[in-house]
Structure 1
Amino acid sequence: MSKDAADKKNIEDAEIIISKTLRAGVAISATITCVGLVLFILTGDSGYPGETFPTSVREIIKGLVVFKPYAVMLSGLLILMLTPVLRVGVSIVTFIKEKDYMYASITVTVFLILIISFLLGRG
């Protein structure tokens, strides 16, 4: 196999891995969100009094531990939000495996920007 053919194969393999990661994240997110919706419909209660709801990841996790329907739905949405971040992480590993250090460093920069934006957006 020529170098060009091997490079093309590596790119295709990387795209398949990234595609499967995105699909899995969306499927898991949808499943968890639907479980929360079914719990909400069956119980008729969000698990929180009045008009209150969890506003932080810590509160969502606390509600998830005790299986509060609204917390379960929000967990699914949180996973959906984190799926693209996971995709960037998978891309970093893929580029390093391919010894494409320029793209790996660019992707690490994007990953750090995403993490910083999540941390700054908590307030």
Structure 2
Amino acid sequence: MHKNEIEEMEIVISKFLKFGVLLSAFVIFIGFAMFLLTGNSGYAGSTYPTEPIAILKGALAFKSYSIILTGLMILIATPVFRVGVSIIVFMKEKDFLYAKITSLVFVILIISFILGKVE
């Protein structure tokens, strides 16, 4: 990969990161505004979704709490995507040491999401 190709890739990635943060903020704002206007989280009592699939189903059902959590999931996924793309960039550059290190970081991130629990 040439230097200008790498710079172009970095610009694309930085625009994606900015878009991810703005999208996340927008989704969270919509969910919060819905909550303020309705005074209702969309869930009875103190039950709330904790699994990503349940959160997405709640967001599709226009439940304000789930919409806020969807925005947070977008915010969390944005830099994880950056790590994943970095692996590809390092492989194209034939920089295998950094590709291995970044792959390890990516695997650790994925494992932490799988093992992580909300209590």
CA distance in 1, matches of 2:60, 2:11: 34
Contact in 2 for aligned 1:18/1:91 (Cα 8 Å): no
Correspondences of 1:11-50 after superposition (within 5 Å): 11-50=6-45
Instruction: Tell me the residue number matched to 1:106.
Output: 101
CA distance in 2, matches of 1:17, 1:93: 14
CA distance in 2, matches of 1:15, 1:65: 33
Instruction: Tell me the residue number matched to 1:3.
Output: none
Deviation sequence 1:23-82 (CA, Å, 0-9, x none): 111011111111111221222211011222212212212211211011001100111111
Unaligned segments of structure 1, at least 5 residues: 1-5
Instruction: Tell me the residue number matched to 2:73.
Output: 78
1:68 paired residue among 63, 71, 86: 63
1:53 paired residue among 32, 48, 54: 48
CA distance in 2, matches of 1:62, 1:36: 14
Contact in 2 for aligned 1:33/1:75 (Cα 8 Å): yes
TM, length-normalised to structure 1: 0.83
Deviation sequence 1:77-114 (CA, Å, 0-9, x none): 11111111111011112222223222222211110111
CA distance in 2, matches of 1:10, 1:101: 18
Bigger CA radius of gyration:
1
2:113 paired residue among 105, 115, 118: 118
- 1:21 partner amino acid: F
TM, length-normalised to structure 2: 0.85
Pairs aligned (count): 118
- Deviation, 1:14, is 3.6
- Deviation, 1:10, is 4.2
CA distance in 2, matches of 1:10, 1:56: 39
Instruction: Tell me the residue number matched to 2:91.
Output: 96
